[in-house]
Chains A and B, each alone.
Chain A
Amino acid sequence: MLLREVGYARPGSLGEAIELLAADDGARALAGGQTLINVMKARAGSPDALVDLGRIEELKGIELGADGTLEIGAMTTYTEIIESSEARARPILGAVCAQIADVQVRNRGTIGGNICTSDPTNHLPPLLAALHAEMTIQSSDGTRTVPAADFFLGVYMTAVGPGELLTKIKLPAGRNDGFAAVTLGVEGTCIVSAAASANGSLTIALGCVDAVPVVLAPDSAEDDAIRTAVRAADLDPPSDVHASRAYRRHLAEVLAVRAARQAQGS
């Protein structure tokens, strides 16, 4: 038996889930479990209770608005996004989800879990930051929306507070996006990642170089302007066994340019 003793509940509605989470400081939401269950095995986290969101229909599904806006339920899996015809309105989303881990993980892992983990090496935090996503957070007091730029607060920390749940992610219309990463093996964890959106002015978001995605707005979409913007950010990424600080700084420039070129279709 690997996990510490833990309580478990599987509410059928969003209201019930929020009530259960608010009632117990030691309770944590269980989404796809592809991070949390491993964290619990390693005892890096030991919640007293798990509130399983797996059977709450309100948290699933993808809706495409008439204006091209996508609304994605927090419990939508990577596989559902990859296979969704609605999600193709923003093609980069499925393309990046298809690069996450492997079939088994994509079948269980969710978009909400990916961003609420706020692991700097995850794919979706920089992508959603570049795409100007907006997160809907619900509690017993009502709902609020938080732009991606304010959602990620630190490593493993987001704007979702005690008694709150991320319920959906909203993406504005747009097709001119890009993503580039250097990973640990094909489709492994990111060493450095960059996402770009060129719908209107160019936005770049860099991953794995700080606790949260670093969002940049270069003066122009030219390669030189992008490199200048990355340098001006004065990044101070950590060194680890996979890459030194200097190499990560180098990769950030290269990948920002690659992502921007993809976004601009060149």
Chain B
Amino acid sequence: MVSTEQTISVTINGTTYERDVEARKLLIHFIRDDLDLTGSHVGCDTGNCGACSVIVDGQLVKSCMMLAVQADGSNVETVEGLADGEQLSKLQQSFRDHHALQCGYCTPGMLMSATALLRSNPHPSEDEIKKGLQGNICRCTGYWNIFEAVKAASE
């Protein structure tokens, strides 16, 4: 059945949301505008910057290059799901300790990419860390402190 609007059910950070969405709505806009989970950012809206990165069914994706209807039935993880209450994840704490952010705009995407990397590869080589963050652009830090933070979190 072809239709311009569908009812979808998506589980985000453990909470299941059922909503009517237009087929043309991007997953990032569903997450931010419909569900008010504004941790994931829209940077470029062209699939280049990675600020909108989230994990869908265990796979890191850019949520501006996926329709919300494509996530129907999926399990999505966003940056809001990383901390346990006030307790930061080891990676988040490492970002803080290593001053791995300046303006912070890219940080949610960086955290999700690094989380996905460390899950599939808990002790990545330096090269593997760089490749794991390849899809995420940061215009402040020069990447070095982000790299150091991920490296420290993997040790």
Contact = CB atoms under 8 A, between A and B. Distances in A.
B135 A102 contact: yes
A187 B131 CA distance: 10
Contact of A38 (B1, B6, B25, B47): B47
Nearest to A108: B61
Nearest to A9: B2
A143 B100 CA distance: 54
Nearest to A32: B65
Interface residues of B, number: 35
* Chain A interface residue bracket vs B: 20 to 34
A33 B45 CA distance: 14
Nearest to A52: B70
A104 B62 contact: yes
A238 interface: no
B24 A103 contact: no
A69 B72 CA distance: 35
B23 A50 contact: yes
Contacts of A33: 65-67, 70
B26 interface: yes
Contacts of A37: 26, 47, 64-67
Contacts of B47: 34, 37-38, 105
A3 B24 contact: yes
Interface in B69-113: 69-70, 72, 113
Contact of B135 (A4, A27, A49, A104): A104
Given A103-B134, A104-B60, A105-B47, A10 B22 contact: no
The residue among A9, A102, A108 with the most chain B CB atoms within 10 A of its own CB is: A102
Given A7-B23, A8-B69, 18 more contacts: A1-B25, A2-B26, A2-B45, A3-B24, A3-B25, A6-B24, A8-B23, A9-B1, A20-B2, A37-B26, A37-B47, A37-B64, A52-B70, A102-B135, A103-B134, A104-B53, A104-B65, A104-B113
26 contacts: A2-B26, A3-B24, A3-B25, A7-B3, A8-B4, A9-B1, A10-B69, A10-B72, A20-B2, A33-B65, A33-B67, A37-B26, A37-B64, A37-B67, A52-B69, A54-B70, A79-B59, A102-B135, A103-B116, A103-B117, A103-B132, A104-B62, A105-B62, A107-B61, A108-B65, A187-B134
